[in-house]
Amino acid sequence: MPCPDLSAPDQSSTDRSSIPEDARDVMSEGDISRALRRIGHEILERNKGSEGLVLLGIPSRGVPLARRLAACIEEVEGTAVPVGELDITLHRDDLRRNPVRTAHRSRIPAGGIDDRVVVLVDDVLYSGRTIRAALDALSELGRPRAVRLAVLVDRGHRELPIRADHVGKNLPTSSAERVHVRVAEVDGLDVVRISGGDAR
Amino acid sequence: MTRHLISSADLSRTEVEDILETAASMHDLQRREVKKVPTLRGRTVINFFFEDSTRTRSSFEIAGKWMSADTINLSAKGSSTSKGESLRDTAMTVDAMAVDALVIRHNASGACHQVAQWVRCSVINAGDGTHEHPTQALLDAYTLRTRLGDLDGKHVVIVGDLTHSRVFRSNVITLRTLGARVTVVAPPTLMPSGIGAWSAADGFATSWDLDPVLDGEGEHGPVDAVMMLRVQRERMSGGYFPTAREYTVAYGLTRDRLERLVARNDDVLVLHPGPMNRGLEIAPEAADSPQSVVLDQVSAGVAVRMAVLYHLLAGEDTPAPMPASATEGAVR
């Protein structure tokens, strides 16, 4: 299907602001890799294998995380799991509060999501609003058998009744703090840092 | 981004690229079973067409509906305009109903610009007289980018009645914004006066002869796409060219010209904003050739207009101050 060349890395929705000096590391490269490996195993355990799994990353940093999870799963099970990306811009509930964001294309694996077990993958779970938008976006694409959620960091402060099935690290934060996730595919390094709030 | 889309010159390169990128995701939506997103829920878009139109009006209406906006179509016939209401009163009346956007096609150049001074809502130009048609230029750029990739340095030739063409004006601006090379071709009688200064300022080429341009002679260089403009029937009696036959021979995309183009570049694209006069400015062989992307243009129309509505209406509410004259009594 012809489409404009979108192969250039998606930078527009990426938080390019630099991490403040006072930020402290909460997950190192090794921590992230171990957490993803564990999540990969958890997904397989829960699903009793890789049958019917589809991993959908939420841009921007959920996408490389989903690819890494798929690689972990393939390593364990020996079968490839379809990976896609789900752009949720058009379903956000804060569109009227912010300047317009460019909508990007969702890439859904060829087999679709009907009757599959979709695992949504994102970097940070915070208010839950992104996941609410993702669930809406999914419902327009088909009817999965089940939807699960895997996140690298759960920092609390939910504003909606949403929870993650697989969590890399639970990170109790104050809402004044900021969590910065950096992944090698987008930022050139793997790290989770936290900044702001009370200096501790 | 600005609140209105009146001229293609309102858009920077980044803004054009953002719209085209968004349009690509809208185009995916068009292929889905459920062709609807909730993005513009609660917004109202009025399509006010003072001139006849099939594709522009229907694509704006579909675009609004698929984005969950409420769209209402008005035409001059059947509205108070036919009772003699002025454009200003009509525009202010509609605006007073607290609509979010007014899509306007009007036979007077500058009508949209003028309306934008009177209303609070966003104004989108869907073609004003012989002035501009910015969403057509965006969908042409989208179609070209789909096939050619980045348009930087690509050579687009626009042929036809330039004097009366709003499509040409908007296209030159958008194509230059995206870095394409543009050559415009028309008989001297249909070349707009003052184009010399404009082409020098905006960096595009002009020619009275089609064949040397299509053959890529001298400075012209190889051609990546040819856009044929419609010869408007009402111009034929205006003395701009002797006969339709003569126009076809000198400026039509005939079978012979298409064959020569394809011999030089198999991937050359043929565009036409429609409606086509087959056998006049474009031969049926060219219109139906594998090089023709005329139907791609139509298909892109909805996606691009969805993207335009999204970029103008989805963001923060920045209500412009109510024009003093419109605060009271406008609806009565």
Distance (Å) from the alpha carbon of A89 to chain B's nearest alpha carbon = 9
Q: Is residue A17 part of a domain?
A: no
| CATH code of residue A182 | 3.40.50.2020
Q: Report chain B residues whose CB lies below 8 A from the CB of A100.
A: 1, 310-311, 314-315
Mean pLDDT by 10 residues, chain B (332 residues): 90 96 92 89 94 91 96 86 88 93 96 96 96 97 97 97 95 97 96 94 96 93 96 80 92 96 96 94 96 95 96 76 42 34
B50 touches chain A (CB under 8 A): no
Distance (Å) from the alpha carbon of B235 to chain A's nearest alpha carbon = 37
Q: Is residue A6 part of a domain?
A: no
Q: A96, B316: Cβ pair inside 8 Å? A: yes
Could you tell me the pLDDT band of residue A98, with boundaries at 50, 70 and 90?
confident
Q: What is the pLDDT of residues A16-66, one digit of tens each?
A: 567 888 889 999 999 999 999 999 999 999 999 999 999 999 998 999 999
Q: Please answer whether residues B125 and B305 qualify as being in contact, where contact means their C-beta atoms are separated by less than 8 angstroms.
A: no
Distance (Å) from the alpha carbon of A2 to chain B's nearest alpha carbon = 6
Distance (Å) from the alpha carbon of B16 to chain A's nearest alpha carbon = 11
CATH of domain B134-298: 3.40.50.1370
Which of B21, B27, B33 best probes binding to A when mutated, by most A CB atoms within 10 angstroms? B21
Q: What is the domain count for chain A?
A: 1
Average pLDDT over residues A81-90: 96
Q: Is residue A5 part of a domain?
A: no
User: CA separation (Å) from B149 to A126, B24, B29?
Assistant: 38, 13, 21
Q: A3, B307: Cβ pair inside 8 Å? A: no
Count how many pairs of residues, chain A against chain B, have C-beta atoms within 8 Å.
70
Point out the residue among B34, B142, B150 whose CB comes nearest to the CB of A140: B34
**What pLDDT was estimated at residue B39?**
94
Nearest CA in chain B to A89: B39
Residue A68 has pLDDT above 80, yes or no: yes
**What pLDDT was estimated at residue A96?**
83
Could you tell me the pLDDT band of residue A12, with boundaries at 50, 70 and 90?
very low
Q: A4, B146: Cβ pair inside 8 Å? A: yes
Distance (Å) from the alpha carbon of A138 to chain B's nearest alpha carbon = 11
CATH architecture, domain defined by B8-133+301-326: 3-Layer(aba) Sandwich (3.40)
One fold for both B8-133+301-326 and B134-298? yes
Q: B28, A95: Cβ pair inside 8 Å? A: no
Alpha carbons B112 and A123: distance in angstroms, whole number: 45
B239 touches chain A (CB under 8 A): no
B30 touches chain A (CB under 8 A): no
> Domain extents for chain B?
8-133+301-326, 134-298
- 3-class SS letters over B166-211: HHHHHHHHHHHHCCCEEEEECCHHHCCCCHHHHHHHHCCEEECCCH
Alpha carbons B45 and B102: distance in angstroms, whole number: 6
Q: Which domain holds residue A182?
A: 25-196
User: CA separation (Å) from B308 to A162, B20, B66, B167?
Assistant: 33, 9, 13, 17
Q: Is residue A12 part of a domain?
A: no
